[in-house]
Amino acid sequence: MPLPDRTYEAHVSGGDLTALRERALEVLTSAELAHVVDLVAWKEGDLVHVAAHRGRSTLTRDGTHRVLAGVDPVGEDDPFHPSGYPFAAARLHSLFDEPRAPDLAVVHTDAHHWPDKGGHLGEHGALGAVQSRAPLVLSGAGVTARGVVQRVVRTVDVGATLVHLAGGDAEGMDGVPLDLAVPTGGRVVGLLWDGAPCEALLSADVPNVRRLLDRGCALRGGAVAEFPSVTLVNHTSALTGLGPGRHGIVHNAYFDRETGEQVIANSSATWHGAVDLLRPGVRTVFQRVPGSTACVNDPVDDGAGYSTFRLIREGGGATAMLATLPHPADDDHVTHGHLDVKDYAWGTQVDAAGLTQVLDLWSQEDPPLLTWWNTTLTDGAHHHGGPGSAIAAASLQDADRRLGIWLDLLEQRGLLETTTVLLTADHGMALADPTCTGDWDEALTAAGIPFRDEAYGFLYLG
């Protein structure tokens, strides 16, 4: 969506805000918008409120739900239910703990399609399971081979697990280490396949992920993203073990009341500097591990001994980096039939460069104790075609081929048996319905309600 470049005027007073919020809720929870608005969330005092056309409820921090009208919009909290809202109370409270959270968080229905404001066939960002559920696979040293297990965790648990396995200190994190792996003193690798949905990955034709699974386990419920289930929020949660209410990055774009300015955190122009948005005192996994570390293709890199994005920052920024990327058609692991799609070509370039870096790091005499490797292509392809599409499947296979090259190197060097691998993503993905259109911004404007809408769903009233 077009993003205004003006600063926000002074925030409205408490009484005026309450009145504005109720006027906005009347519009947002109307029957006319029920096909595109799943629910709306906000915080008053110690309670998070959720409202939808179907009803209203409040959520305490410990997860107690109180229905105020109709049916509870997030009442289905079974983490394995496809229409559920896993960990809804904890995730919403974490968001609204942060002063930069919106006055109202509007959550899209899975079917909502909004290409005129940046939407795609494949979408994420919502509170529900489909858009939130990322995979989680553990493999290698310290992991018992047990196949797919009936478990589910949160993205904040990824950071805690990596630190624990690498012999670091996870104290103070929101997440807790998974009990499916134990530290062995060997090396630890975290892989993030951006935008790869849990069920799609577990059912895909990905032989090298199967190699991991043969030596470990996968969680059927995966890792549930923090809310909103968007990229930078959850890269940061995975690499700090903290929810957005503590690490401070609440969306890919948001409004900062402290400075009166809009923050665009996740764009080609700002991505490499996103780590500067962390709240003071936040520590990454790299700062908690007693050994050498590497962060490949991820901006949340504070403390990493080797960092792609530090090199980009020191080398002149994103524009200078573009000139160094290989041509996508020259990559040996790409599915050539999709290179006419701009995001597929771009993701291929980035991931080819990522593989080169990882192979260089792991060809050294002493590879890092902790390596984090972000894969980009899978997100762009799932956005373009939606989960289950041919282009989405091809992106998983391309990522799998690159994974196989690295696994072969470990095997050749005798490092496979002493290395622990964790594979996850930053969110899930839903298939939008091109016929399911509508715009709450237009409805709010027609009702005369003053607001700004950041990242299409974060409403700041006034």
Q: Model confidence over 61-78: pLDDT tens digits?
A: 999 999 999 999 999 989
pLDDT in the model for residue 325: 86
Query: Does pLDDT of 238 surpass 80?
Result: yes
- Look up the domain containing 109 and give its range: 14-119+433-461
pTM (whole model) above 0.85:
yes
Do 100 and 210 share a structural domain?
no
Query: Does pLDDT of 81 surpass 50?
Result: yes
Measured CA to CA, the distance from residue 244 to residue 278 in angstroms comes to: 10
Do 338 and 313 share a structural domain?
yes
pLDDT in the model for residue 14: 58
Do 54 and 73 share a structural domain?
yes
List, in sequence order, every residue forming a beta bridge with 451; answer none if it has no partner: 461
**Which range (98-112, 225-239, 324-338) has the least confidence?**
324-338
What values do phi and psi take at 377, rounded to 5? -55, -40
Do 207 and 340 share a structural domain?
yes
Query: Does pLDDT of 127 surpass 50?
Result: yes
**Residues 313-336: what's their mean pLDDT?**
79
Q: Residue 228: is the preceding peptide bond cis (ω within 30°)?
A: yes
Do 438 and 403 share a structural domain?
no
Tell whether 249 is covered by a domain: no
Tell whether 264 is covered by a domain: no
What CATH number is given to the structural domain containing 309? 3.40.720
Tell whether 237 is covered by a domain: yes
Tell whether 415 is covered by a domain: yes
Do 424 and 452 share a structural domain?
no
> pLDDT tens, 141-178?
999 999 999 999 999 999 999 999 999 999 999 999 99
Residue 281 neighbours by CB distance under 10 Å? 7
Do 384 and 324 share a structural domain?
yes
Tell whether 107 is covered by a domain: yes
Tell whether 64 is covered by a domain: yes
Handedness of CA 90, 424, 420, 373 (dihedral sign): negative
pLDDT in the model for residue 316: 67
**Residues 217-230: what's their mean pLDDT?**
98
Q: How high is the mean pLDDT of the chain? A: 94
pLDDT band at 272 (very low <50, low <70, confident <90, very high): confident
Handedness of CA 365, 371, 376, 379 (dihedral sign): positive
**375-376-381 Cα angle (round to 5):** 125
Do 197 and 87 share a structural domain?
no
Q: What is the 3-state secondary structure (H, E, C) of the chain?
A: CCCCCCCCCCCCCHHHHHHHHHHHHHHHCCHHHCCCEEEEEEEECCEEEEEECCEEEEECCCCCEEEEEECCCCCCCCCCCCCCCCCHHHHHHHHHCCCCCCCEEEEECCCCCCHHHCCCCEECCCCCHHHHEECEEEEECCECCCEEECCCEECHHHHHHHHHHCCCCCCCCCCCCCCCECCCCCEEEEEEECCCCHHHHHHCCCHHHHHHHHCEEEECCCEECCCCCCHHHHHHHHHHCCCHHHHCCCCCEEEECCCCEEEECCCCCCHHHHHHHCCCCCCCHHHCCCCCEEEECCCCCCCCCEEHHHHHHHCCCHHHHHCCCCCHHHCCCCCHHHCCCHHHHHHHHHHHHHHHHHHHHHHCCCCCCEEEEEECHHHHHHHHHCCCCHHHHHHHHHHHHHHHHHHHHHHHHCCHHHEEEEEECCCCCEECCCCCCCCHHHHHHHCCCCEEEECCCEEEEC
pLDDT band at 273 (very low <50, low <70, confident <90, very high): confident
Tell whether 259 is covered by a domain: no
Tell whether 300 is covered by a domain: yes
Query: Does pLDDT of 395 surpass 50?
Result: yes
Nearest to 371 by CA among 363, 379, 362, 380: 362
Per-residue burial over 372-410, b = 16 or more CB atoms within 10 Å of its CB, e = otherwise: bbbbbbbbbbbbbbbbebebbbbbbbbbbbbbbebbebb
Number of independent structural domains in the chain? 2
pLDDT band at 369 (very low <50, low <70, confident <90, very high): very high
List, in sequence order, every residue forming a beta bridge with 192; answer none if it has no partner: 374, 424
Measured CA to CA, the distance from residue 24 to residue 42 in angstroms comes to: 12
> pLDDT tens, 285-300?
999 999 999 999 999 9
Query: Does pLDDT of 258 surpass 60?
Result: yes
Do 201 and 310 share a structural domain?
yes
Do 445 and 361 share a structural domain?
no
**304-396-218 Cα angle (round to 5):** 75
**335-338-339 Cα angle (round to 5):** 95
Do 158 and 218 share a structural domain?
yes
Do 407 and 283 share a structural domain?
yes
